[in-house]
Amino acid sequence: MCMITGAAASGLPRPGECRPARPELKKQLSVSHDSAPQPLTASSGAPLRGALRPPGDKSISHRAMILGLLSIGETRVEGLLEGDDVLRTAEACRALGAGIDRLGEGRWVVRGVGIGGLGDPASVLDFGNAGTGSRLMMGVVGGQPVTATFDGDASLRKRPMRRILDPLVRMGCEVVSEEEGGRVPLTLRGPREAIPITYETPVASAQIKSAVLFAGLNAPGITTVIEAAATRDHTERMLRLFGAEVAVTKTGEGGHGRTVALTGQPILRGTDVVVPADPSSAAFPLVAALIVPGSEVTIEGVMMNPLRIGLITTLIEMGADIERLREREEGGETVADLRVRASRLRGVEVPPERAPSMIDEYPVLAVAAAFAEGTTRMIGLHELRVKESDRLAAVADGLRANGVAHLVEGDDLVVHGNGSPPPGGGTVATHLDHRIAMAFLVMGLATERPVTVDDGAMIATSFPSFLPTMQGLGGAIAG
Ligand code: S3P
């Protein structure tokens, strides 16, 4: 059971931590690309109880580092996610000229070089598993007079980068070399000044939008991104926080789309960034508390940005008992504590227009759906095929391995639950994907037989304290 002890002056768990009753369990995961896989097994047991604060939001953490690099003066960050993905972005910022120091847990300072002040990195920018870090940084390099080579692990090397390179080429960036189909390793040479463009994103992707806007920072004029469906807006919000002029208008049918116009060549000034807890990480203890009978868990300080909480909306439609408590402002975002109690869930239809607000949460929603009574239909999941793994296939394989009735119909995932725990007993192939690993470990906390994932190492890219956090709540997960 996780207990908040009197030892903490604030009385709250620190970011990414649940203060476990049994400290010997506090083993964090670490990413290792050259050692043996780290299999993990989850088994059902006692109800989950306690409070936790998930780690800092990954999207905001990447952007805090990057905007710190592009600013004049100091940026101080509180609550940074110290996962492997963000540490890779920090390393890349350092290689491009920023001075970066860690002041304490989650507390970092970035001394920026300003727009136009970047230098060529001395070696390859290795982004490991990080799609967001690499794509956002391609936008930075693609708009500035620097040359840099991007690379990553076996997962990143499979991911499509053409969607980022196409607009950057229009903005004056040269792709010096690339792997077939626009994959890393690839080398970009940015222009002295970027060309301001108007770009309609071909798929709803905050990464594409952000890369174009970051390149547009060095363009003499207005760079406009038009998206048919609104995606997470952290780049727009944070650009404003650092001093840029960004105009956002609602467009399209039902006002679902957005037009974002950035005035180029601003002077960005370093500032303070407080990173709220990541709703995409909160999703795992949240679904665990819903499916393990008798559980009651409080998840503190979770960011409630409307473009990020599609999972919570969906779970509430399914009958989940989730209370939003103590809503408040932190770091320019609304945050809340979520009190979650085990619930009887029912199947629902999840409309495609909700996908951008819960794009990373479908694997764990599929797990919730496996425990629900009736059919859950998740529509329009094509973007899941190009995440850290082909998540649609990986989720379907994991459901199959654990006896859950389901269908993949085109880009839709249909899960049939009967309101009781699925058999479990399977081993899930995670394909270097942190969210596949965490989703199926959550499943194993409530299935009839234990669930094993073949490798939990990548969990450290986004939620390094996942294991002690879940163990601290009483979840039986072991290596
Ligand atoms: C992210 C955007 C999303 C999401 C990723 C983080 C971001 O990707 O899946 O984990 O921080 O911009 P897409 O924009 O490609 O959908």
Asked, for residue 441, whether it belongs to a domain, the answer is yes
The active-site residue, picked from 360, 390, 397, 433, is: 360
pLDDT for 19:
38
- Note whether 350 and 455 are same-domain residues: yes
- Note whether 150 and 215 are same-domain residues: yes
Say whether 153 is catalytic: no
Number of domains observed in the structure of the chain: 2
Q: What is the 3-state secondary structure (H, E, C) of the chain?
A: CECCCCCCCCCCCCCCECCECCHHHCCCCCCCCCCCCCCEEEECCCCCEEEEECCECHHHHHHHHHHHHCCECEEEEECCCCCHHHHHHHHHHHHCCCEEEEEECCEEEEECCCCCCCCCCCCCEECCCCHHHHHHHHHHHHCCCCEEEEECCCCHHHCCCHHHHHHHHHCCCEEEEEECCCEEEEEEECCCCCCCCEEECCCCCHHHHHHHHHHHCCCCCEEEEEECCCCCCHHHHHHHHCCCCEEEEEECHHHCEEEEEEECCCCCECCEEECCECHHHHHHHHHHHHHCCCCEEEEEEEECCCCCCHHHHHHHHCCCEEEEEEEEEECCEEEEEEEEECCCCECCEECHHHHHHHCCCHHHHHHHHHHCEEEEEECCCHHHHHCCCCHHHHHHHHHHHCCCEEEEECCEEEEEEECCCCCECCEECCCCCHHHHHHHHHHHCCCCECEEECCCHHHHHCCCCHHHHHHHCCCEEEC
Pick from 265, 294, 309: which residue ends a domain?
Answer: 265
pLDDT for 34:
60
Give the position, in ligand 1's atom list, of the atom nearest the Cα of 359: 9
pLDDT for 282:
98
Pick from 223, 242, 265: which residue ends a domain?
Answer: 265
- Note whether 261 and 303 are same-domain residues: no
pTM, two decimals, is 0.94
pLDDT for 254:
85
- Which residues lie with the beta carbon below 6 Å from any ligand 1 atom? 59, 132, 205-207, 210, 231-232, 359-360, 383
The CA 161 to ligand 1 mean position distance, Å, reads 13
- Note whether 375 and 293 are same-domain residues: yes
- Note whether 285 and 221 are same-domain residues: no
Mutational test site, ligand 1, from 58, 62, 207, max ligand atoms within 8 Å of CB: 207
- Note whether 238 and 283 are same-domain residues: no
pLDDT for 27:
57
Asked, for residue 210, whether it belongs to a domain, the answer is yes
Domain that holds residue 188: 58-265
- Note whether 260 and 304 are same-domain residues: no
- CATH number of the domain that residue 426 is part of: 3.65.10.10
- Note whether 242 and 283 are same-domain residues: no
Pick from 244, 265, 286: which residue ends a domain?
Answer: 265
- Note whether 255 and 334 are same-domain residues: no
- Note whether 315 and 201 are same-domain residues: no
The CA 230 to ligand 1 mean position distance, Å, reads 12
In this structure, which residue's CA is closest to atom 15 in ligand 1?
Answer: 205
Asked, for residue 296, whether it belongs to a domain, the answer is yes
Asked, for residue 81, whether it belongs to a domain, the answer is yes
Asked, for residue 14, whether it belongs to a domain, the answer is no
Asked, for residue 25, whether it belongs to a domain, the answer is no
- Note whether 48 and 88 are same-domain residues: no
Q: What is the chain's pLDDT, residue by residue, as a tens digit (479 residues)?
A: 232 222 222 333 454 444 333 333 345 677 765 668 999 999 999 999 999 999 999 999 999 999 999 999 999 999 999 999 999 999 999 999 999 999 999 999 999 999 999 999 999 999 999 999 999 999 999 999 999 999 999 999 999 999 999 999 999 999 999 999 999 999 999 999 999 999 999 999 999 999 999 999 999 999 999 999 999 999 999 999 999 999 999 998 888 999 999 999 999 999 999 999 999 999 999 999 999 999 999 999 999 999 999 999 999 999 999 999 999 999 899 999 999 999 999 999 999 999 999 999 999 999 999 999 999 999 999 999 999 999 999 999 999 999 999 999 999 999 999 999 999 999 999 999 999 999 999 999 999 999 999 999 999 999 999 999 999 999 999 99
- Note whether 169 and 305 are same-domain residues: no
Asked, for residue 26, whether it belongs to a domain, the answer is no
Asked, for residue 28, whether it belongs to a domain, the answer is no
